[in-house]
Structure 1
Amino acid sequence: MLDQTAGFSKQLLIGQENEKESIATELNGRIGQQLVLLKNDIYLLEKQSHDTNSELFKSITQDIGKAIEEVSIVSFSLRPYQMDTLGLKGSITHLAEDIASDTPGTIHLDIDELDELLNNQAQMNIYRIVQELLNNLIKHAQASSCSISIKVGTHQLNLQYQDNGKGFNTSNPSSGLGLSGIRERCKLLNAELKISSKRNSGTKVYIKIPVEINTST
C-alpha cells in the first residue's frame, strides 16, 4: 500500500508539472502574443489619430505592457522555461533575484554546479523545493534575510535553507510553513528532510539528496 501511495504521489506531481507546462505554453503562445498584437494596434491607432488623446494612448500602452510582464512572470512560475538555457543553478538564481527585487529582505545563495549530476526530473523537483521555500519566506516567515546553499558532497547533494523569521512550532507544522509539497518532492528524490524551527528564532531546513550520475536527459 505504501508503494502504491508513493507511486500515486509521483504520478500526481508529474501530472501537475505537465499541466503547468501546458498552461505556461498557452499563456506565452496565445495570451502573450495577443497582448503584443494589441499593443501594436494601439500604437498604429495613436499614429492615425494625429496625436489627439496622446495621454490616453500612453496610459493604455503602459497597461498592456504591464499585462505582458505579468503574463511572463506567471508563465515562468508555472514552467521555468529558462532552465533549458540557464540550467538549474541559473534558474534558481533568476528566481531568487526576482523575489529579492520585490521584497525588502536579502537572499544569499551559495550553489555548486549541478546540471551534469541530475536528470531533468530531479532538477525540476529541486527547483520546486527552492521555489516553495522562497514562497514561504515571503508569505509566512516575515524574515529580513535568508540563505540557501546547495553543495555537492560524496554521492549526495546537501541543500540547506535558513532564515531569521518568526519560525513555527514543528510539532504542529500546519500552523507554520506549508511543507507538504516539499515533503512529497523529497520522497521522489529519496531525500532526507530535517526541519528545525522555533517561534521567533527562524527556520532551518536540511535536505540530503542522493546523487545518481546523469547519463541522459
Structure 2
Amino acid sequence: MMNFSETDFLIILSTFIILIVVLMMIAIYGVFIKKKSELLLTQKIKETTFEQELANSQVEIKEQTLNYVGQELHDDLGQKLSVARLMTNKIALAGEAEKEAIAREINLLIGECIQDIRNLSKVFITEQVAHFGFIESLEREIFRIKRLRLMEVNYKIIDHDVQIHSTHALILFRIVQECINNVIKHSKSHCLELIVKDEEAQVKIEINDRGIGFDTNIDEDGSGLKNMASRAKIINADFQIKSSENKGTNVLITYNK
C-alpha cells in the first residue's frame, strides 16, 4: 500500500488547483475570443448594411434627379422653346415695330432657357448633398416642387448651419425626399409643411400634410414605411409617423448627433 506524505498531498493538490485554474483561463479566453468574433461580425454586418443603404440612396437620388430633369425639359424648357419658335415664324410677317417687340420677347425667352439649363446642370452634381449640404439640398427639393407647381410648401428652418456627417446627411435627405414624394403621390393634399429644428443634441425634421391620411395599422405599402424606419435606425435616427383617415399625416424624424 502506497503511503502519501503531507508534502506529496500538497504537491498533488497544488497541481490539481493549477490545472483547474489553467483550464478556467483557457475557457475564459475561449469565451472572450468568441465574443470578440461575434462583435466584429456584428460590426462588419452593420458597416455592410450602411454601405448598401448609402449606395441605394445615391442610386435613388440619381433616379429622382433624372425624373426631375425629364419633367423640366418637357414641361418648361420644351414649352418655352416652342413659343420662341412660333414667335420666330411671326417675324417674317410682322411690321418693323412689331419685329422689334417680338425680338425682345424671343431674347427674354432664350435668356430664361439659358438660366433654366444652368439650374438643371447643378442637379447633375454626383454628390449633391455632400456638395451643397443637407439644408441647401432640402431647399433645392422644395424649389423643385414649387417650380413644377406640384403643391404649396410651407418651409421653416430654425438654423441653416446644421452639422450632419455627409454620409448620414445623404441617407437622411433620401428619407425626407421619400416622405415628400409620398405626400405628392398619395396624400391628395394641396399643402405640405416642412419644419427643421437644429437642437443641441438632435436635429428634428417634421413633415405634415392635410391629405386623406391612412390607417398605419393596415397600411398596404407598409414596406416603404419600414424601409424608411430601418434607414433611420442605421444613422442613429428615430422615425415616427402618425396618420388617420381624412386628417392628414405627421412624420417626425429625430436625428441624434
The match for 2:49 is 9
Equivalence map 1:1-217=2 (5 Å): 6-17=46-57, 19=59, 72=120, 76=123, 79=126, 81=128, 84-85=131-132, 87-113=133-159, 115=161, 117-175=163-221, 178-211=224-257
Letter in 1 for 2:200: T
Letter in 2 for 1:9: T
**Residue identity matched to 2:128:** Y
Amino acid at match of 1:13: E
Q: CA deviation at 1:76?
A: 3.1
1:161–1:205 Cα contact (<8 Å) kept: yes
Is the alpha carbon distance of 1:79 and 1:182 closer, same or farther for their aligned partners in structure 2, counting shifts above 3 Å?
A: farther
Alignment CA distance shift 1:148-1:22 (3 Å): closer
Q: What is the letter of the counterpart of residue 131 of structure 2? A: D
On the 8 A contact 2:57/2:174 being kept in 1, the answer is no
Asked whether the equivalents of residues 158 and 209 of structure 1 are also in contact (C-alpha less than 8 Å), the reply is yes
SS at match of 2:224: coil
Residues of 2 paired with 1:22 and 1:193: CA distance?
A: 24
Q: Which blocks of at least 5 consecutive residues in structure 1 are unaligned?
A: 28-53, 56-61, 212-217
Aligned residues of 1:140 and 1:177 also touching (Cα < 8 A): no
TM-score (norm 2): 0.55
Contact 1:105 1:145 in 2 (8 A): yes
Q: What is the alpha-carbon distance in structure 2 between the residues aligned to residue 105 and residue 19 of structure 1?
A: 25
TM-score scaled by structure 1?
Answer: 0.63
The alpha carbon displacement at 1:117 in A equals: 1.9
Distance 2:244 2:45 in 1: 31
Report the residue type matching 2:163 in the other structure. L
Find the aligned partners of 1:172 and 1:77 in 2 and give their Cα distance: 38
> In 2 relative to 1, CA 140–126 (structure 1 residues): closer, same or farther, beyond 3 Å?
same
Where has structure 1 moved over 4 Å in runs of 4 or more? 1-8, 17-24, 77-80
Q: Secondary structure at the match of 2:214?
A: coil
| TM-align CA RMSD | 3.7
Amino acid of the structure 2 residue aligned with 1:84: H
Identity in percent: 22
Determine helix, strand or coil for the equivalent of 1:178. Answer: helix
How has the CA–CA distance of structure 1 residues 109 and 80 changed in structure 2, closer, same or farther, with 3 Å as cutoff? farther
CA spacing shift, 1:121–1:168, aligned 2, 3 Å:
same
Aligned length: 172
* Match in the other structure for 1:51: none
- The higher relative CO (CA closer than 8 Å, separation ≥ 6) is in 1
Identify unmatched segments of 5+ residues in structure 2. Answer: 1-40, 67-87, 90-109
CA–CA separation in structure 1 for the residues paired with 2:212 and 2:173: 24
What is the CA deviation profile of residues 188-217 of structure 1, one whole-angstrom value per residue up to 9, with x for unaligned ones?
Answer: 221122110011110001122111xxxxxx
